[in-house]
Structure 1
Amino acid sequence: MSMPASGADDGVDATVRELLLLMPRLVGRAKRIPVPEALRSFSLAPRHLSLLACLLFDGPMTVNELAARLEVAPTTVSLLIGDLSRKGILERREDERDRRRRIVALAADHEPAISAWLAPGATAWRRALAPLTPDQRRVFVDTLLAYEAEVDAERD
C-alpha cells in the first residue's frame, strides 16, 4: 500500500505521523509495567489481563457476563478461568440466586497485587479522559476500535 502524498489530506498525514511515533512508546510503556512479585510465578499473559481487569473494576460475574464484556466466546473465558482458578488467582462459587450458575471472582489473597498492578493504568486513563465530554470519549474509543479493525483487515 502506498502512502498518500503529504499535504493533500487536511492534516491527516501529520496526525498519522504523530500517532506512529506515539503508539510504540505506549506499547513499550505497557510492556515495562512490572508484574508484581506476588504474581510473577503464575506466567500471566496479556489474555489474562483483560479478564482480571474486568473482575477488578466490575466485581464478580458469571462466565457469560465476562465473555460478553471481553467480546469472546464463553468457552474461551471458561478456559482462562480454569487456568487462573487452578493457579488460585480466581475463585468460583455458586450463584445464590441460581445454583446452576457459577460466579467468578478474584481470590482475596491476590486482589491487592492485581489492583496495584492495574490501578495505575486506570488512573492515567481517568485523568486523560476526564477533561473530555462523553461524546469526545466515545469518539476516542470508537477511533481506537476502528484502528484495531483496520489493522486486522490489513493482516487478512
Structure 2
Amino acid sequence: MTTDQGFEDFVTATHDLFTAMRRNRGRLAGSAAGLSLSQLNLLDAVATDGPMLVGEVAAEAGVSGPSATRMLKQLEREGVVTRERSVDDERKVLVDLTEHGRELVHRQRRALRALQREHYASLSLEQRKVFVDVLQQMAVMIGEWNEV
C-alpha cells in the first residue's frame, strides 16, 4: 500500500466513523430506553449533577444554546425534564429531570454500557489496548480539526 493510499484509507475511515456516529445519534429513541444518544448526552450532566442552567447543559453536551433549548422543550413535553425560571434571574432557566426522566437516563446508560461491554469483550487483549489508544488519539485529532 502506498503512503497516499494509506492516507486515503484513513480519510475514508474517519468519514465512515463520523457518518455512523451522526446517523446513530438519534436512532435509539425507538429503543426500550426511549432516549436517543443526543438526548442522553444532553441529560447526562443533569442526571449526575442535578439541576443546571440551560447554558450549562448545552456547554456540557457540546451543543449550541438554541439546540439545547429546542431539545429540552421537546423533552419537557414528553415529561422527561422540567424547566423553570431561576428565582435569582428570570432570564435564566433551570433544567432538572423528572422521576420518569431519571429512570430513562439510567435505563439508557445501562443499555449502552451493556452493548459497549459486549463489543469490548469481542476484542482480543491486544486489540483492546490499541483500540483505546487510537480512540484517544482520534479525540485529540478531531479537536484540532475543529480549529481549522
TMscore range, shorter length: 0.5 to 0.7
Matched length = 133
Residues 1:143 and 2:141 are matched in the alignment = yes
Question: What TM-score do the two structures reach when normalised by structure 2?
Answer: 0.56
More helix by share: 2
The one-letter code sitting in structure 2 at the alignment partner of 1:52 is L
Given that residues 67 and 77 in structure 1 are in contact (C-alpha distance below 8 angstroms), is that contact kept between their aligned partners in structure 2?
A: yes
Determine the C-alpha separation between the residues in 1 that align with 2:24 and 2:70.
28
Contact 1:55 1:61 in 2 (8 A): yes
Q: Could you tell me which runs of 5 or more consecutive residues in structure 2 were left unpaired when the two chains were aligned.
A: 121-127
Instruction: Give the aligned partner of residue 89 of structure 1.
Output: 80
1:7 to 2, 7, 15: 2
- How far does residue 82 in structure 1 lie from its aligned partner after superposition? 1.4
Instruction: Please report the TM-score for the alignment, with normalisation by the length of structure 1.
Output: 0.54
Contact 1:7–1:13 (Cα < 8 Å) also in 2: no
Once the two structures are superposed, what CA deviation does each residue of 1:71-117 show, in whole Å capped at 9, x if it has no partner?
33322222221111111110123546x25232101111231232121
The offset of 1:33, in angstroms, is 9.1
- What's the counterpart of residue 116 of structure 1? 107
Q: Counterparts of 1:81 and 1:104 in 2: how far apart (Å)?
A: 8
How do 1:43-54 and structure 2 match up within 5 A? Answer: 45=36, 47-54=38-45
Aligned to 1:109, what secondary structure does the other structure show?
helix
After superposition, the CA RMSD in angstroms is 4.4
Q: Equivalent pairs: percent with the same residue?
A: 18
